[in-house]
Amino acid sequence: MFVVDSLIGPLGVETVGETVVGVRFGARPGPAAATPADHAVAARLEAYFAGELTDFELPVEMRGGSEFERRVWAEIAKIPYGEMITYGSIANALGDPGAARAVGTACNHNPVPVIVPCHRVVGAGGKMVGFGGGIERKRKLLELEARVALTRAWG
């Protein structure tokens, strides 16, 4: 695992070859990216946090999780940059309208947050609820994306 500094604090990033398998909030400062693949991942994360990148285009392996969680993570991966969707909307998309809380739990278990953007999932009416990295990190990520999206739309 290597550590990337970001506007939401240090992120521990775990890779296997060129594939990202884990992202952890609040990682302790440690080794920098070591392999060329690690440097590529670190550069993409740094570009994202600088507002220069809106799609990571990285190979990701979602380890663990139940079948339901994997389906939720696949839906989350489809959420466009700068947009938000509710937990209930994801539950509906999965054909289980009563599963909004379970969607929230699956978001909390996302092994690669930020890259698979669970921060883009909000409560009914856009309410800021739940996030494995804490609401303040979620707010910062959403503000970054909103600012970048507005800048790109209006020049």
pLDDT tens for the chain, 155 residues long, are: 899 999 999 999 999 988 999 999 988 877 666 788 889 999 999 999 999 999 999 999 999 999 999 999 999 999 999 999 999 999 999 999 999 999 999 999 999 999 999 999 999 988 888 788 899 999 999 999 999 988 878 86
CA distance 69 to 65: 6
Q: What is the pLDDT of residue 155?
A: 67
Is residue 118 part of the annotated active site? The answer reads yes
Using a 10 angstrom Cβ sphere, with 0-12 exposed, 13-18 middle and 19 or more buried, the burial of residue 34 is exposed
| Marked catalytic residue, from 118, 141, 142, 148 | 118
- Shared domain for 17 and 88, answered yes or no, is no
- Shared domain for 43 and 72, answered yes or no, is no
Question: 3-class secondary structure for 12-72?
Answer: EEEEECCEEEEEEECCCCCCCCCCHHHHHHHHHHHHHHCCCCCCCCCCECCCCCCHHHHHH
Q: What is the pLDDT of residue 153?
A: 80
Which domain range does residue 31 map to?
Answer: 2-49
- Shared domain for 131 and 82, answered yes or no, is yes
